[in-house]
Structure 1
Amino acid sequence: MRALRLTAWGEAPAPAEAERPVPHGTEVLVRVEAAGLCRSDLHVIDAPPGALPYRLPFTLGHEVAGWVTALGPDAAGVAVGDRVVVYGPWGCGSCARCAAGSDNYCDRRDTLAWHGAGLGRDGGMAEYLLVPSARPLVPIGDLPADQAAPLSDAGLTSYHAVSGLRPALGEGTTAVVIGVGGLGHLAVQILRATTESRVLAVDVREDALALADRSGADFATLMRPDTARALRARSGGVGADAVLDFVGTAQTLELAISVLRPGGELAVVGSGGGSLTVSKPGVLPAGFRLSLPFWGTRHELAGVVTLARSGALRVETERFPLSAAPEAIDRLRRGAARGRTVLVPD
């Protein structure tokens, strides 16, 4: 089968011929219909030797949707022909967090040689994906695969971040989304579907503001010197009850703090290299709470799929054949991708 394999750190992944897996024991073989591409893949590709515990080579791709095509003799919980999305973070499977469906916060994460499909284990940028059991599989019914695949990271991470803020987002509140890309545009929709908050959006690109509008934002603006003032005005002058920063640079964190009201919530999702200095007294809003959400739980993925199947959540995608993965990676690296990039087998 064809697969996009990472064979050397810091070098572009290469299309290669790989042996089609055969499921044993509890394993499940999924025929891939679509695999998402995101900046986390770039972080893996660009990682220097020794920065990650993964052993080369392996197939990339941690956002995967497809249909079950073969089962190991001990597999249970799915049937051949089921259409599924694959829960991406794979933990140890035996700690308390994993037992509760929170592999994203596995207690043994730092000891593992992998973090999931396409993250040290062979992933879904291939014709087939071998899954260790039915445990990471969530049914999608008739949801199109190019919509389902990005839900397993872009949708799930956004949903998990919003879930942590939801108690603060009742009627009359304001939420600000900084960065309206592959994750941010889904966060806008999830906020609209699951909270009563007004949703304000910020980006540096005009086309991202148009995407925010299509996603249901009440107001969208470019990042300028007066952006904090404009956002505060839209919040009724008191500031935002919650800010979700999907960029995480020094500039976006500064904006987040400047618009957050006392007692507000800040969720930093992006890994842009920015930092906050915590001091008391200091410049941080009094009583503010900080979270660093990472991915999400298996149960939350089922909730994301339910939202998508209801029509409340739609992923803006760019589709590429698997053979055009180098072009898709280049577009993502240049910041030219619109929404979420999805690779489909040729």
Structure 2
Amino acid sequence: MRAWEYDGHRTALVERPDPVPGPGQAVLDVTAAGLCHSDLTLTGRPAESHPFPLPLVLGHEVAGTVRRVGEGVVGVAVGDAVVVHGPWGCGACRRCRVGEENLCPRAQSRGIFPIGLGADGGLAEQVLVPSVRHLVPAHGIAPEQAAPLTDAGLTAYNAVRLSRDAMVEGSTVLVLGIGGLGHLALQLVKHLTPARVVAVDVSAAARDLAAGLGADVVLDPATMPVAEGVRALTDGDGADVVLDFVASGDTLPAAVRSLAPGGELSVVGVGAAAVPVAVKTMPLGSTVRTPYWGPRGDLEEVLALSRQGVLAVHTTSFALEEAERAYELMRTGGLVGRAVVVPGKERS
């Protein structure tokens, strides 16, 4: 099979043996794989900084059809359309037993890593999934939509769910970064809550997308400081919830300055910025969260919202051979929404 492999220095499309499932495992024919800025973060680090072995097949947003299953597999059949719940845990701890493998405290110490972020991923023609408990039915959803929902949709949903109680009538939610995750979070807040949404992005195309998705206010940080704009809209109070999908040196300080006392800040982006969290550096009574992916149950709810037509991923599709071009467009800000690689697609 063909797969995009990262060896610690570069990515390349290589030939690998077709995977063979062992007991309890499954092999999928990949129908779509979403690309993420986390991939760029991973490949931008020195090879020696990674806690997992290289080379590694990239791709942690995966949709596919079951090609083969191993001995003892039940509940999954050849031909099933599925997606992969990507944050793999030990499967036995308290968190894992309730479906929160994204918060497993034992995984890394036991050499268990997420798909595409330590374990071989789905930016390939086939992928091996080590346990069928990681597979979630995805019938009725186009693969190009389903794949990004496993991270971009799931992470956005988790962030919104954790702060949903604060998104009441009359509240203001600030969404920083209307990219692959942010444009989905915007839709979720608008559908699930009565809160007012203020969307911010440096890209005019992303701001246009936010307006088209129903953002109540769209701000251009180049024309007005974010915190100043938010406080003008809230009689000086600030936003009740801030969702930062960038976490850069520009967005994270703006997030803190925009937050109301008693407000909730979710730092979701993988940018390298940091802010001090202390009584005198944060608004009084504020809460800071760092959502990471989400539980399996959240993914099931995200897929249900997609089937209902509530949640739509803005995508640009690429053939398998074009993945490097897609990554370059992501690096340079040339894409709006999510890039999705479709192995069966012809090169454009």
What range describes the TM-score normalised by the shorter chain of this pair? over 0.9
Q: Secondary structure at the match of 2:72?
A: coil
In the alignment, what sits opposite 1:242? Answer: 241
In the alignment, what sits opposite 2:251? Answer: 252
Q: Secondary structure at the match of 1:20?
A: coil
In the alignment, what sits opposite 1:293? Answer: 291
Q: Contact 1:61–1:118 (CA<8 Å) still a contact in 2? A: yes
Q: Contact 1:169–1:195 (CA<8 Å) still a contact in 2? A: yes
Distance 1:87 1:345 in 2: 20
Q: Contact 1:186–1:215 (CA<8 Å) still a contact in 2? A: no
Q: Contact 1:53–1:114 (CA<8 Å) still a contact in 2? A: no
In the alignment, what sits opposite 2:92? Answer: 94
Residue correspondence of structure 1 range 1-346 to structure 2 within 5 A: 1-7=1-7, 9=8, 11-224=9-222, 225-280=224-279, 282-346=280-344
CA RMSD, aligned part only? 1.4
Quick one: which amino acid aligns to residue 4 of structure 2?
A: L
Q: Secondary structure at the match of 1:262?
A: strand
How many residue pairs get aligned? The number is 343
Distance 1:272 1:22 in 2: 37
Distance 1:13 1:113 in 2: 23
Shift of 1:122: 1.5
Distance 1:230 1:30 in 2: 48
Distance 1:110 1:133 in 2: 17
Quick one: which amino acid aligns to residue 60 of structure 1?
A: L
Shift of 1:79: 1.4
Quick one: which amino acid aligns to residue 19 of structure 2?
A: P
Offset from partner CA, 1:106-149 (integer Å, 9 cap, x none):
11133143421112221111111111121011111120000000
- Give the TM-score normalised by the residue count of structure 1: 0.95
Distance 1:137 1:47 in 2: 30
Distance 2:10 2:319 in 1: 17
Distance 1:125 1:142 in 2: 22
Q: Which runs of 5+ in 1 are unaligned?
A: none
Percent of aligned positions that are identical: 47
Distance 1:75 1:133 in 2: 9
- Give the TM-score normalised by the residue count of structure 2: 0.95
Q: Secondary structure at the match of 2:180?
A: coil
Shift of 1:284: 2.0
Distance 1:129 1:99 in 2: 25
Q: Which runs of 5+ in 2 are unaligned?
A: none
Distance 2:287 2:176 in 1: 17
Distance 2:112 2:201 in 1: 33
Distance 1:215 1:342 in 2: 20
Offset from partner CA, 1:294-325 (integer Å, 9 cap, x none):
11111100011011111110001110000111
Q: Contact 2:90–2:112 (CA<8 Å) still a contact in 1? A: no
Deviates more, 1:47-56 or 1:85-94: 47-56
Structure 1 runs (4+) greater than 6 angstroms displaced: none
Q: Secondary structure at the match of 1:250?
A: coil
Q: Contact 2:226–2:258 (CA<8 Å) still a contact in 1? A: no
Q: Contact 1:33–1:66 (CA<8 Å) still a contact in 2? A: yes
Distance 1:313 1:236, change over 3 A: farther
Quick one: which amino acid aligns to residue 142 of structure 1?
A: G
Q: Contact 1:53–1:112 (CA<8 Å) still a contact in 2? A: no
Offset from partner CA, 1:227-270 (integer Å, 9 cap, x none):
32322233354221100011112321221122211101000111
Distance 1:253 1:15 in 2: 36
Deviates more, 1:310-319 or 1:73-82: 73-82
Deviates more, 1:309-318 or 1:225-234: 225-234
